[in-house]
Chain A
Amino acid sequence: MKIYFESLAMHLKGELEYRVNFILSFLSQILVFFTYYFIILALFTKFDHIKGFTLYEVLLCFSIIQFGFSFNEVFARGIDHFDNLIIRGEFDRLLLRPRNIILQVLCSDSDFVKSSRLIQAIIVLIIALCHLSIEWSLLRVLTLLLMLVSSCAIFFGIFLAAAAYCFFTVQGLEVRNVFTDGGKHMAQYPIGIFKKGFVWFFIFVIPYAFVNYYPLLYFIGKKETIYYAFSPLLVGLFLIPCILLFYWGMKRYTSVGS
Chain B
Amino acid sequence: MKAYISYFKLKFISSLQYRSAAWAGVATQFFFGFVYIMVYVAFYESGGKNLPMNLSQVVTYLWLNQALLALVNQFTRDPELFKLIREGGISYELARPKNIYFMWYFKVIGQRLANVTLRVVPLLVVTIILPFPFHLGAPESIYHFLFFLLSLGLGALLVTALTVFYPIVALRTLNEKGIVNIMITIADILSGIVVPIPFFPKPLQVISSFLPFQYISDLPFRLYVGNVSLTDGVFGMCIQIIWIIILIILGNCLMKKNIKRVVVQGG
User: Chain A: residues with CB nearer than 8 A to chain B?
Assistant: 21, 24-25, 27-28, 31-32, 34-35, 38-39, 42-43, 45-52, 173-175, 177-178, 182, 185-186, 189, 193-195, 198
Contacts and interface: CB of A to CB of B under 8 A. Distances in A.
A28 B38 contact: no
Contacts, number: 91
A51 B28 contact: no
Given A38-B189, A39-B195, A46-B199, A31 B51 contact: no
Contacts of B194: 35, 38-39
**Which of A28, A51, A52, A177 has the most CB atoms of chain B within a 10 A radius of its CB?**
A28
Nearest to A36: B194
Interface residues of B, number: 33
A156 B61 CA distance: 35
Given A178-B28, A189-B39, A43 B189 contact: no
A50 B43 contact: yes
A21 B42 contact: no
B39 A178 contact: no
Nearest to B53: A46
Contacts of A193: 39, 42
A177 B182 contact: no
A175 B175 contact: no
A156 B216 CA distance: 39
Interface in B46-65: 46-48, 50-52
A112 to B, nearest CB: 15
Interface string B144-188: 000000000000000000000000000000010111011001101
B31 interface: yes
Given A38-B189, A38-B195, A51 B42 contact: yes
